[in-house]
């Protein structure tokens, strides 16, 4: 890390602080702290939806998967794209029309209070484990870069994200998400474009197996894995527990547009994200020798290796900014989401239904702080796990812990015929399925069908088998409950809500002045980044900084211009 890299990092923290302080004023009530009074624009909600679907793990654990197994990683991220397109076509507007504050409110009105509490308490460990994986991904990257302890990295980033989430709730979270989205996309797209240029110039024989990887012999396992990944990501994107990203928008139209924005970004961006590790793999680089400090996780440094050896001086600082953005964004969102659940679905629902706004704000902030601390502790424990890569931990975690909740919450609006108790009952069945697959199922049972399997094939098949078991057994049980109870009262209420477009009275007016401020801030940031070009030694290196800076400037100018026009139009209509 050079002085220029440190300057870039310092600039990033200054901008985060400015945006956090500027938007702190919006969170003056519990509703504003939790869901921004339901007044978010589509681009703020879309940025949050996009940024919460990945983290620094994308550039460490997932980059290691790209380095080792080629294009296979794309099916995970294209699954996100497919999921958001499905959201835009069906789910986004329906979730927004429910007119609720949190994802657990969706569970309560679709099922019952018992299901609300089961989902609420079950979701907390999932949030903690997910945040721990994100922190470990970033910790691995920073550890390789600075040579400092991964524990110090985890503690520092935990403190940062907790501060942002505490300051202004969903307003500071969403505002910083927009800034970080622009930074991350512009930086990684320019870096990925340079890597793609290198790849197309390589001789064909130097390119390794690029579809399945070079250590899988049973192609049917790969096809199953790819299909299940697409389905899993679609399910996780559209279940009721993920509906918070649409509940913060002002109306169903804004919710649909936010989903479409996230889908388009996930369709294109991953190709450029993984071009650097693909190029490093094509060069036959031994990452274990390059990063001995990472031990068995040396391949997590594939993206970093490309930056250090093929990018100009100073760009490492910008990439560090992108890595921080990729973890800070989903973590701040997760902390804010947990705060909303604690306030609405535990405190108001069970403890103090008549709580004042000040009491709700206090509980929201205390729960944000507690979740941040616990996430850091779990991340420190995860840093000591050996034998599994970050990618494998993420996939196994999803299959075992998330699926019991995701299946019934995904089907909640797909089938309104199941009784109220079908929600919590399906979670119980899902946990039994997970326990069986984790503690009893042995992948060697399938070897008479597949033949002997290597370690990668075994892990992939475990993930496939677990997810399919949940889809057919857990999902099948949920559908079957429609013949075991009466759902008519719930069916009628939910059906009426999702089929009734939001009226003007249901919507909170959008404050477009927020976009003007953020657009101007990004324009200034783009100019500053472009000025880093004067520190380079040649025109091609200067062009990289100018390209990134110009892209940020263009996004900021477009946002400020659009918001200014809409702000004037709103003022004219109010006269």
Calpha distance 536→284 (Å, rounded)? 28
Calpha distance 366→372 (Å, rounded)? 10
High-pLDDT (> 70) share of the chain, %: 85
270 or 384: which leads in pLDDT: 270
Whether the pLDDT of residue 391 is over 60: the answer is no
Per-residue buried b or exposed e for 524-555, using 16+ beta carbons within 10 Å of the residue's own CB: ebbebbbebbebbeeeebbbbbbbbbbbbbeb
C-beta neighbour count of 72 within 10 angstroms:
21
pLDDT on residue 48: 74
Calpha distance 471→479 (Å, rounded)? 11
- What is the token pair recorded at 367? 């729960």
- What is the token pair recorded at 211? 């579809």
What is the torsion angle, in degrees rounded to the nearest 10, for the CA atoms of residue 127, residue 128, residue 134 and residue 137? -150
249 pairs with which residues across the strands? 40
Q: How confident is the model at residue 469 (pLDDT cuts 50, 70, 90)?
A: very high
Whether the pLDDT of residue 36 is over 70: the answer is no
Backbone angles phi, psi at 249, to 5 degrees: -80, 165
**Average pLDDT for 327-334:** 73
pLDDT on residue 258: 92
Calpha distance 543→540 (Å, rounded)? 5
Calpha distance 28→185 (Å, rounded)? 31
Residues whose CB falls within 8 Å of the CB of residue 492, separated by 6 or more in sequence, listed in order? none
User: Is residue 330 within 8 Å of residue 180, measured between CB atoms?
Assistant: no
**Average pLDDT for 153-172:** 77
- What is the token pair recorded at 60? 């460490």
Residues whose CB falls within 8 Å of the CB of residue 16, separated by 6 or more in sequence, listed in order? 164, 176, 179, 328
Residues whose CB falls within 8 Å of the CB of residue 185, separated by 6 or more in sequence, listed in order? 265, 269
Low-confidence winner among 132-146, 335-349, 413-427 (lowest mean pLDDT): 132-146
User: Is residue 381 within 8 Å of residue 131, measured between CB atoms?
Assistant: no
40 pairs with which residues across the strands? 249
User: Is residue 75 within 8 Å of residue 226, measured between CB atoms?
Assistant: yes
pLDDT on residue 289: 87
Q: Please give the model's pTM, rounded to 2 decimal places.
A: 0.81
Whether the pLDDT of residue 170 is over 70: the answer is no
Calpha distance 151→143 (Å, rounded)? 9
Terminal CA-CA length for the chain? 55
Whether the pLDDT of residue 230 is over 70: the answer is yes
**Average pLDDT for 251-267:** 91
High-pLDDT (> 90) share of the chain, %: 13
Calpha distance 331→327 (Å, rounded)? 6
**Average pLDDT for 225-252:** 88
Low-confidence winner among 53-62, 114-123, 183-192, 490-499 (lowest mean pLDDT): 53-62
Residues whose CB falls within 8 Å of the CB of residue 305, separated by 6 or more in sequence, listed in order? 280, 285, 287, 290, 291
User: Is residue 70 within 8 Å of residue 211, measured between CB atoms?
Assistant: yes
For 528, what's the count of Cα atoms within 13 Å in the CB-facing half-sphere?
18
**Average pLDDT for 27-43:** 61
CA angle 261, 262, 267 (to 5 degrees): 100
Whether the pLDDT of residue 24 is over 80: the answer is no
- What is the token pair recorded at 418? 């199941």
- Angle between helix 422-435 and helix 113-146 axes, rounded to 10 deg: 40
Using CB atoms within 10 A of its CB, is residue 396 exposed (0-12), middle (13-18) or buried (19+)? Answer: middle
Highest mean pLDDT pick, 320-324, 382-386, 397-401, 493-497:
493-497
Which residues in 291-420 belong to E strands, given as ranges?
A: none
- What is the token pair recorded at 429? 């069945």
Whether the pLDDT of residue 151 is over 90: the answer is no
User: Is residue 317 within 8 Å of residue 6, measured between CB atoms?
Assistant: yes
User: Is residue 316 within 8 Å of residue 1, measured between CB atoms?
Assistant: yes
Q: What is the DSSP string of 364-398?
A: HHHHHHHHHHHHHHHHHHHTT--SS-HHHHHHHHI
Per-residue DSSP letter, 538 = S
- What is the token pair recorded at 251? 């109306």
360 or 419: which leads in pLDDT: 419
198 or 28: which leads in pLDDT: 198
pLDDT in tens, 298-315: 888 888 888 888 887 777
pLDDT on residue 79: 93
Distance from chain centroid for Cα 521: 24
Q: How confident is the model at residue 395 (pLDDT cuts 50, 70, 90)?
A: low
User: Is residue 122 within 8 Å of residue 405, measured between CB atoms?
Assistant: yes
Whether the pLDDT of residue 376 is over 90: the answer is no
pLDDT on residue 163: 80
pLDDT in tens, 349-370: 888 888 887 888 888 888 888 8
pLDDT on residue 174: 65
For 335, what's the count of Cα atoms within 13 Å in the CB-facing half-sphere?
35
pLDDT in tens, 531-565: 888 888 888 788 888 988 898 899 888 888 888 88
pLDDT in tens, 192-223: 888 888 777 766 655 555 566 666 667 777 88
């Amino acid at each position: 890390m050079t002085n220029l890299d440190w300057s870039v990092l310092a600039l990033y923290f200054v901008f985060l602080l400015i945006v956090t302080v500027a938007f702190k004023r919006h969170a003056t009530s519990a509703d504003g702290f939790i869901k921004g009074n339901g007044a978010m624009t589509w681009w703020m909600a879309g940025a949050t939806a996009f940024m919460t679907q990945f983290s620094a793990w994308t550039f460490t654990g997932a980059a290691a998967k790209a380095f080792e197994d080629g294009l296979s990683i794309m099916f995970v991220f294209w699954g996100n794209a497919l999921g958001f397109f499905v959201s835009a076509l069906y789910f986004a507007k329906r979730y927004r029309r429910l007119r609720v504050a949190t994802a657990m409110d969706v569970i309560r009105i679709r099922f019952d209070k018992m299901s609300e509490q089961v989902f609420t308490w079950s979701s907390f460990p999932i949030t903690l484990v997910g945040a721990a994986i994100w922190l470990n991904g970033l910790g691995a990257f920073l550890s390789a870069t600075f040579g400092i302890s991964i524990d110090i990295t985890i503690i520092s980033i935990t403190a940062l994200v907790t501060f942002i989430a505490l300051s202004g709730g969903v307003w500071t979270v969403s505002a910083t998400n927009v800034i970080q989205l622009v930074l991350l996309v512009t930086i990684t797209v320019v870096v990925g474009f340079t890597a793609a240029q290198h790849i197309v110039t390589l001789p064909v024989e130097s390119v390794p197996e690029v579809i399945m990887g070079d250590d899988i012999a049973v192609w049917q396992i790969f096809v199953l894995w790819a299909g299940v990944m697409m389905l899993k990501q679609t399910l996780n994107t559209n279940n009721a527990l993920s509906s918070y990203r649409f509940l913060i928008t002002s109306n169903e139209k804004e919710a649909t547009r936010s989903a479409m924005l996230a889908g388009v970004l996930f369709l294109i961006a991953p190709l450029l994200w993984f071009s650097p590790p693909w190029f490093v793999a094509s060069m036959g680089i031994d990452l274990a020798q390059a990063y001995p400090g990472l031990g068995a996780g040396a391949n997590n440094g594939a993206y970093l290796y490309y930056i250090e050896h093929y990018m100009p001086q100073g760009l490492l600082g910008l990439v560090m900014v992108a890595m921080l953005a990729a973890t800070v964004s989903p973590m701040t969102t997760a902390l804010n989401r947990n705060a909303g659940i604690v306030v609405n679905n535990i405190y108001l629902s069970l403890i103090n239904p008549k709580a004042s706004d000040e009491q709700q704000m206090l509980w929201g902030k205390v729960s944000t702080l507690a979740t941040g601390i616990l996430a850091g502790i779990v991340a420190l424990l995860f840093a000591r796990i050996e034998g599994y890569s970050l990618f494998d931990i993420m996939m196994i975690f999803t299959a075992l812990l998330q699926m019991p909740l995701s299946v019934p919450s995904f089907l909640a609006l797909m089938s309104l015929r199941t009784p109220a108790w079908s929600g919590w009952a399906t979670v119980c069945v899902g946990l039994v399925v997970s326990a069986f697959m984790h503690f009893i199922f042995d992948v060697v049972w399938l070897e008479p069908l597949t033949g002997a399997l290597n370690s990668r094939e075994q892990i992939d098949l475990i993930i496939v088998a677990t997810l399919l078991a949940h889809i057919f057994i857990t999902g099948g049980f949920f559908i079957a409950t429609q013949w075991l109870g009466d759902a008519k009262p719930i069916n009628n209420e939910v059906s009426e809500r999702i089929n009734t477009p939001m009226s003007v009275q249901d919507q909170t007016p959008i404050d477009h002045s927020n976009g003007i401020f953020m657009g101007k801030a990004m324009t200034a940031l783009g100019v500053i980044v472009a000025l880093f070009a004067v520190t380079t030694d040649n025109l091609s290196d200067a062009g990289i900084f100018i390209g990134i800076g110009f892209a940020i400037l263009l996004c900021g100018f477009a946002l400020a211009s659009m918001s200014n026009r809409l702000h004037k139009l709103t003022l004219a209509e109010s006269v």
